[in-house]
Amino acid sequence: MAAIRLSVPDTATAGEVIEIKALIQHPMESGFRRDSRGEAVARDIITRFECLYAGETVFAGDFFPAVSANPFLTFHTRATETGTLVFRWTDQDGQSWEDAAEILVE
Amino acid sequence: MNDRFEPMKLTRRSVLLTAASASAFGWLARPALADPEDVTAARTALFGDAPVTEGRVEVSLPPISENGFSVPIEIDVESPMTPDDHVTRIAVFSPRNPLADIAHFQLGPRAGRARIETRIRLGGTQKVTVVAEMNDGSLWSGHAETVVTLAACVVL
């Protein structure tokens, strides 16, 4: 559950805008679906995504049920310093999953 | 005559009528779908009453989405993304999903480029609206249309 895949360049030049891809395995159950017996399936979604670069939030998002299962995001950030990018997803119940990537800025 | 008004008799006609009314109620029991006013309401709830100008926001959706459960969307907002002039928020709205809100994003000059790609669910053929807020408070919008062959939410 909740496998995370990240695509972050290993190195970048200072000031370069880098592309980041982040995916987390999650059903994103919308709460609008019914099972085979006609009963509503309870909502279970990730509501928050954050990307922190050297401790500072550079990109964040709020998700609603219309975000597909296994939420996949592509976004950008400016490479400013050598450091760690932390990716954090939080679901509706406050449970969170985290992964990190190192980047070397020359 | 009037067989169908006698509850104890199961005729072909009464069975068909029951099935027809059951499916009609099934239709009514589905979640209410959002409409363009809900998009306006959701936008106002997030950004307030400020006027929205068309432009600076480019939205791409495939012309035909075979699977409404996963539609790739690309958003590109024209902005230098400097500390003096950057995009602060981007929101995606649907006029035909059970909820008008799809996703909200928060950016800043550290983002370097206001371009986002993700995958969304669409409950039918529709025109998706994306609104971007700049750091001076101005709101800009863009749209993209797609034909959804298999709608999310409706297939239960």
Contacts of A63 in chain B (CB under 8 A): 103
Contacts of A77 in chain B (CB under 8 A): 110-112
Hey, what amino acid is at B74? E
The answer, yes or no, to whether residue B44 has pLDDT greater than 50, is yes
- How far apart are alpha carbons A70 and A24 in whole angstroms? 5
How confident is residue B27, by pLDDT bands cut at 50, 70 and 90?
very low
Q: Does B153 touch chain A (CB under 8 A)?
A: yes
Nearest CA in chain B to A27: B69
Q: Does B46 touch chain A (CB under 8 A)?
A: no
Residue ranges in B30-131 assigned as alpha helix (H): 36-47
SS3 B43: helix
Pairing mode of beta strands A46-53, A4-7: unpaired
Contacts of A64 in chain B (CB under 8 A): 99, 101-103
- How far apart are alpha carbons B57 and B92 in whole angstroms? 11
Nearest CA in chain A to B155: A33
Task: Identify the CA nearest to B105 among candidates B91, B119, B87, B121.
Answer: B91
Phi, psi of B4 (to 5 degrees): -70, -15
Question: Mean of the pLDDT values across residues B85-114?
Answer: 93
Task: Name the least confident of A13-27, B23-37, B88-102.
Answer: B23-37
Question: Mean of the pLDDT values across residues B71-83?
Answer: 94
Residues with Cβ < 8 Å from B156, sequence gap 6 or more? A33, A34, B30
Of A83 and B20, the one with more pLDDT: A83
Q: Does B117 touch chain A (CB under 8 A)?
A: yes
Overall residue count recorded for chain B in this entry? 156
Q: Does A77 touch chain B (CB under 8 A)?
A: yes
Task: Name the least confident of A75-89, B116-130, B142-156.
Answer: B142-156
Q: Does A17 touch chain B (CB under 8 A)?
A: yes
Q: Does A13 touch chain B (CB under 8 A)?
A: no
Residue A34: which of B101, B118, B156 has the nearest Cβ?
Answer: B156
Q: Does A83 touch chain B (CB under 8 A)?
A: no
Task: Identify the CA nearest to B132 among candidates B46, B41, B38, B15.
Answer: B46
Classify residue B45 by burial, with Cβ atoms within 10 Å: 0-12, 13-18, 19+: exposed
pLDDT at B11: 64
Q: Does B102 touch chain A (CB under 8 A)?
A: yes
What is the separation, in whole angstroms, between the first and last Cα of chain B? 38
Q: Across chain A, what does the average pLDDT equal? A: 92
Pairing mode of beta strands A72-78, B115-120: antiparallel
pLDDT at B101: 93
**A20, A34, A64: best mutation site toward chain B, by most B Cβ within 10 Å?**
A64
The answer, yes or no, to whether residue A20 has pLDDT greater than 70, is yes
The answer, yes or no, to whether residue B119 has pLDDT greater than 50, is yes
pLDDT at B64: 92
C-beta of residue B61 within 8 angstroms of C-beta of residue B75 = no
> How many beta-carbon pairs below 8 A join chains A and B?
98
For the ranges A29-43, A82-96, B3-17, B18-32, the maximum mean pLDDT occurs at A82-96
DSSP A14: T
Nearest CA in chain B to A54: B110
Task: Identify the CA nearest to B31 among candidates A62, A70, A43.
Answer: A43
How confident is residue A85, by pLDDT bands cut at 50, 70 and 90?
very high
Pairing mode of beta strands A96-105, A11-12: parallel
DSSP A94: S
pLDDT at B28: 45
The answer, yes or no, to whether residue A92 has pLDDT greater than 70, is yes
pTM: 0.83
